């Protein structure tokens, strides 16, 4: 598991699987240089020199707007596992 600052705190079965030889200081989560959102969708980019999200999306924002602005209340995210089964 990781702490809120991204550093590795513990590994399951560390003593048995890794003989307590893991250097946790080198295995923390990477920081994402650019995090931006569009219409509630969150995007992360590891390239600090990349263009802004809106510039990158360009004309695709038109299609995202159509998808996400279909109703006045906006889009609702329903959590949980969703399974679709179709007979082919």
What is the CB neighbour count within 10 angstroms for residue 49? 7
User: Averaged over 19-39, what is the pLDDT?
Assistant: 93
Q: What is the pLDDT of residue 75?
A: 80
Q: Which residues contact 29 (CB under 8 A, 6 or more apart)?
A: 2, 6, 7, 8
pLDDT digits (tens, 9 = 90+) for 59-69: 999 999 999 88
Q: Which residue has the tokens 């920081």?
A: 31
Q: Report the pLDDT value the prediction gives residue 48, as an integer from 0 to 100.
A: 96
Q: Are 80 and 66 in contact, with CB atoms under 8 Å apart?
A: no
């Amino acid at each position: 598991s990781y702490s809120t600052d991204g550093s590795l705190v513990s590994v399951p079965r560390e003593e048995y699987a890794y003989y307590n030889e893991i250097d946790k200081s080198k295995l923390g989560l990477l920081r994402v240089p650019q995090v931006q959102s569009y219409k509630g969708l969150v995007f992360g980019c590891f390239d600090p020199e990349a263009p802004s999200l809106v510039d990158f999306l360009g004309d695709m924002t038109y299609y995202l707007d159509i998808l996400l602005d279909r109703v006045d209340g906006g889009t609702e995210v329903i959590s949980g596992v969703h399974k679709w089964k179709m007979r082919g």
